[in-house]
Amino acid sequence: MSKKMIQAPHLKEQPNEPFSDLIVLAGSQAWEWWGKGKGEGWLLLCQALQHNATQKPIILDVKQLNELERLAIVPPAQRAVRLIQCGELSQAQITALCLNLAKHSKVDQLALCNCIGEVTENLSSYIKRVRQDSGMAEIIAQEGIEKENNVRVDNMSPYIEKRKIGGKSGLYRITPKLDKDTGEIIEREDWLSDELEVVGQGRSDEEYYTMISFKPHNSDNNTLLALPLKDVGERTGWQLLRKNGLNITNNQRLRPYLADYLQDYYQKGFYRVVNATGWQSGAYILPNGEVIGEPKTPVFFVGQSANNKGYGVRGSIESWQQEIASNVAGNPFMMLGVAVALSAPIIHLINAESFGVHIFGGSSTGKTTIANIASSIYGHPDEIRLSWLTTPLGISNEAQARNDGFMPLDEIGQSTNRKHVGDIAYSLFNGVGKIQGAKEGGNRDLARWRTVAFSTGEIDLETYLTNVGIKTNVGQLVRLLNIPLQRATQFHHHKDGKAHADHLNHASKLHYGVIGREWIKHLIDLHHNNAIEPLYRAILENRLNTLPNDCHSQVKRVMSRFSILEMTLKFSLDFTRWDVAECENAITKAFNEWVNIFGYHSREELQVIEQVNGWLLANAEGRFIRYPIDPTQREVNNIAGFRVIPDSKSDEQEYFYLYPMAFDEAIKGHPKKQACQILAEKGMLKRGKEKGYGFTIKLPRQIKGDRTRCYLLYTLVESEEEENT
């Protein structure tokens, strides 16, 4: 009489799809892996196989594997099975599984896979041979007997498993011992740690990790932790585990067993460990570690933003549109703030450089309101905003933690070190950190990032730095765009500007985070459809055609930033519900305000001309000997040269002979060759005619007999200066 077959867990709930892969989780950790449909391993597996996570798999844990000879594993008509190894699964057990399926089903496609769905062995031909060879059953039966004998021996070896003893759940090391008098197996149970699961191996560009999942006490969510392999079993490793809420034994004798267990990640998942956020493996990581999209390989972020807790969600798309976007419409500089924030994830997708926007104006012009609106796209405005009161290294670390992301900065005047502000304005957008040595020798990998920043202040960056004698580099001004702010004029249903601003400031702290996440999902779709680059190129070409023919390349470079902002607003119309023409006008107005300050021509040229002209005017009376000689002139100290004053009846312009050291002083901070070229082209410096002496000429004999070589300079007449700017 044949034995009655017992159904495997979830067998009744399998769909009638015999030719589709039926998922079977088999091994010592099968139940934990599934986790009632919410296990991290199960969800990663479903993602890899594109399997519906709500469809329960067949479960073959230790109990089921020990009674395979009377277990109905799959529906009798099933043809395709994917066997997923979860934890320990011996060759004897795999063989017994094949025998069962050969006898009790029509399965002819059987794949043994690791825990992330990768095929490790195709067992289809083995199943076929078992069915065809009548003697195979005897061989398998003998293997089963040997397996049982081996199990008895193995059962006396220490092992680690999850248990709950005396109300305390966790990992226990079980040491079996045979009582020779009674034949009973007595177990010694040593607690090692809270319950945890080693879910796979991780690897960054620099090192390897073991990936551990556990639920800290009084927490509703599991914590996934990347523990560096070099720290496993070391003091630093135990500290990291405890810091993240995992209780571990203090018994030094037991810790090595736990350390070995933590390295048991073979046949499990693989993670790409990164220390930068943004676009990684086709998905996007927010500064709080949240992953948007489906990465090609699971990714884990080990860095941390100083404001990572601010990236929460409140409200909905509809509430943000109604309370914020609708009240921003028609106000160009508020729309500009939204464009800057939304553009941050785009620059990577079109391989653009980092940049930022600095809006400036007096108090109560709406600077803080615009910053709050822009910040609300990704999180709570107060909690994700950074401060200028930091160091270049601090801001570089934060930029890496917000790679491909938005960086709102508070008022520039908050900084107590203006030199740091100048350094930050350059290094932040340079996108590369400082070279740092590694403990093991050599250097660490360079930190790299892309970002879009938004800053506010009462004055522009150049004035802010110049006021304390710090020269502004043109590179800073084409990376951080200084735009004078104009107040909002469209108050919508609010009675005045104050009521309008108050509403937006309040609303930005009630409706935040949702738009940014949905926007990034939208960008993933646009990128997959190759829709981003063509629109950007079309907008850039159109905007470049509006520039003067003699426009400098610096301005064209900046125009590419404004083209990104326009493209961003056009792609986001479904989120903002703004008008296309309104978006174009907002960006045009912002560019016009910027170019009114910067100009269409080379900023370096303007800086050299203004600096030298200002130096001549400031020192004309006190440091130059007049010619013709003026007997009434006071004694000149620290002589810079000679000032030639033409006859009052002459139309000639006065000019100056500068000694070389005085000329170096006048052009301080600029390369001499470049400065000479600029001044000569503007008619301020007369070229020498003798070869080999550059721009210097000899003093006329009537001025000084030794005929020292000098630079002959003219001041720039005001009307000419205006014409050149």
* Tens-place pLDDT, residues 652-667: 899 999 999 999 999 9
The residue ranges of every structural domain in the chain are 6-154, 155-273, 311-598, 603-724
Find the mean pLDDT for residues 97-124. 91
Architecture of domain 311-598: 3-Layer(aba) Sandwich (3.40)
Contact in structure between 640 and 662 (CB atoms under 8 Å): yes
Find the mean pLDDT for residues 689-708. 88
Q: Are strands 299-301 and 355-360 parallel, antiparallel or unpaired?
A: unpaired
Buried b (16+ CB within 10 A) or exposed e, 627-643: beeeeeeeebeeebbbb
Whether residue 724 is predicted with pLDDT greater than 50 in this model: the reply is no
Among candidate residues 542, 565, 546, 557, the one with its CA nearest the CA of residue 598: 557
| Residue 540: per-residue pLDDT | 97
Find the mean pLDDT for residues 695-714. 93
| Residue 153: per-residue pLDDT | 46
For the chain, what is the mean pLDDT?
Answer: 89
Q: Using pLDDT thresholds of 50, 70 and 90, give the confidence band for residue 438.
A: low
As a three-state string, the secondary structure of 429-462 is HHCECCCCECCCCCECCCCECCEEEEEEECCCHH
Reduced to 3 states (helix: H, G, I; strand: E, B; else coil), residue 671 is coil
- Alpha-carbon span 521 to 668, nearest angstrom: 50
Question: What is the token pair recorded at 23?
Answer: 């998922």
Q: Using pLDDT thresholds of 50, 70 and 90, give the confidence band for residue 684.
A: very high
As a three-state string, the secondary structure of 152-173 is HHHCCCCEEEEEEECCEEEEEE
| Residue 582: per-residue pLDDT | 97
Residue-wise pLDDT for 375-393, tens only, equals: 999 999 999 999 888 888 8
CA distances from 109 to 125, 137, 226, 419, 489 (A): 8, 20, 36, 69, 70
pTM of the model: 0.68
Whether residue 151 is predicted with pLDDT greater than 50 in this model: the reply is no
| Residue 340: per-residue pLDDT | 98
Q: Are strands 168-178 and 159-165 parallel, antiparallel or unpaired?
A: antiparallel
Share of residues in the chain with pLDDT > 70 (%): 92
Residue-wise pLDDT for 506-558, tens only, equals: 999 999 999 999 999 999 999 999 999 999 999 999 999 999 998 989 999 99
- Alpha-carbon span 509 to 369, nearest angstrom: 11
Q: Using pLDDT thresholds of 50, 70 and 90, give the confidence band for residue 39.
A: confident
Find the mean pLDDT for residues 693-704. 91
Whether residue 725 is predicted with pLDDT greater than 50 in this model: the reply is no
Buried b (16+ CB within 10 A) or exposed e, 33-47: bbeeeebbbbebbbe
Share of residues in the chain with pLDDT > 90 (%): 62
Residue-wise pLDDT for 259-302, tens only, equals: 999 999 888 889 999 988 999 989 999 999 899 999 988 999 98
- 72-76, 136-140, 582-586: lowest mean pLDDT where? 136-140
